[in-house]
Amino acid sequence: MWSSRLAVHQLQKFAAAQLTISTMQRAQSTLPRVYVTRSVPPDGLEILRNSGQVQFEMWDSDDPVPREELLKRVKGIDGLLCVLTEKIDAELLDAAGPNLRVVSTMSVGYDHLSLSELKKRGIRVGYTPDVLTDAVAELTVALLLCTSRRLTEATHEAKTGGWGTWRTLWLCGYELANSTVGIMGLGRIGLAIAERLKPFKVKKFIYTDVAPRPELANQIQAEYVSMDEMAKQSDFLVVCCALTPETQGICNKELFSKMKKTSIFINTSRGGVVNQEDLYDALATGQIAAAGLDVTVPEPLPTSHPLFSLKNCVILPHIASASFTTRNAMSSLATNNLLAGLRGNAMEKELKL
């Protein structure tokens, strides 16, 4: 009798457990489906896992998800968390289908998103401005100093036996003190760069933009000038503008031809704003002194590209936001944008289409 009652009790416990599992599975199956296109930094991933709001699948790799695989994985999803290497266009949106309500990109730039297609479908878009401002500004200053003071060349010489006797003009570069710094696109990042450069005793800041921005310019006593004037006056020209149809290839031979032969060109915005063939010619012929790039077209830039053959061109692999603090902040913001959008709430940072 005792064993019989025990067996019944165990069966009841087992049935209850199975019912609980079944209920949880049904509940989970009704949660919005999300696809994450890359292995995101841990802070954002923890928020996603602990939210209890979505069921998600992630391409768990540092390398981009192959396009064909991406098109398969997005079918029927409600939300997409992507990075700047994924092209979110009509083809992908068609593959995802009508359930897709929110796209959240872990980037401040959004030139990889087809905004017209997203708007047409009523899909909300989150992005991650502001949180990477400090990291990008720091890297831009580092790249400017590395380029202007020829640190990459100097390191190579020291490692390969080129460091001989002291020479009067060997590896001489250009100082920031008493210089004119031109900023193309005075937004949050442009302002942060100028604030960091000011202690180097920069003589004058000038800038160009689609229109004067006195509320920002007044903080660094910057003068609004035309593109031509910026090219002519700048000892250091720093590109901080967004990539738009208007800025595509805006840094070209016309601009470089007006710059000083001693000027330094720095780009940490988007590679597409620069005509790289024109930049190569300007550097190779001595039209400008040097260039530092954190962004190129394409990315990665093939090692056979002519720009890599130039000693006066420093190229980094798009690492401006690459600090642990910033990348985790970006992943957290992108995740919170996604979850808020799926709830129908206001996102912390939403791109207005």
pLDDT per position as a tens digit, 90-125: 999 999 999 999 999 999 999 999 999 999 999 999
Structure confidence at residue 20 as a pLDDT band (50, 70, 90) = very low
Overall average pLDDT of the 305-329 stretch: 98
CB distance 80 to 100 below 8 Å: yes
Residue 164 pLDDT > 80, yes or no?
yes
* Catalytic residue of the set 9, 112, 305, 318: 318
b or e along 102-114 (b: 16 or more beta carbons within 10 Å of the residue's beta carbon)?
A: bbbbbbbbbbbbb
Within 10 angstroms of residue 125's Cβ, the number of other Cβ atoms is 22
Q: For 66-85, write each residue's pLDDT tens digit.
A: 999 999 999 999 999 999 99
Percent of the chain with pLDDT over 90: 92
Residues, the chain? 353
**pTM greater than 0.85:** yes
Six-digit token string for 267: 């780009």
Overall average pLDDT of the 28-36 stretch: 88
Q: What is the CA radius of gyration of the chain?
A: 26
- Distance of alpha carbon 81 from alpha carbon 70, whole angstroms: 12
Listed in sequence order, the DSSP H helices in the chain are 2-29, 42-50, 67-73, 90-96, 115-120, 133-148, 151-159, 188-197, 214-220, 227-233, 253-256, 276-284, 324-343
Six-digit token string for 3: 């064993």
Structure confidence at residue 4 as a pLDDT band (50, 70, 90) = low
- Distance of alpha carbon 348 from alpha carbon 336, whole angstroms: 8
Phi first, then psi: what are they for 29, rounded to 5°?
Answer: -65, -20
Residue 21 pLDDT > 60, yes or no?
no
Q: For 232-249, write each residue's pLDDT tens digit.
A: 999 999 999 999 999 999
b or e along 220-243 (b: 16 or more beta carbons within 10 Å of the residue's beta carbon)?
A: bebebbebeebbebbbbbbbbbeb
The mean pLDDT of the chain is 93
Annotated catalytic residue 156? no
pLDDT of residue 22: 44
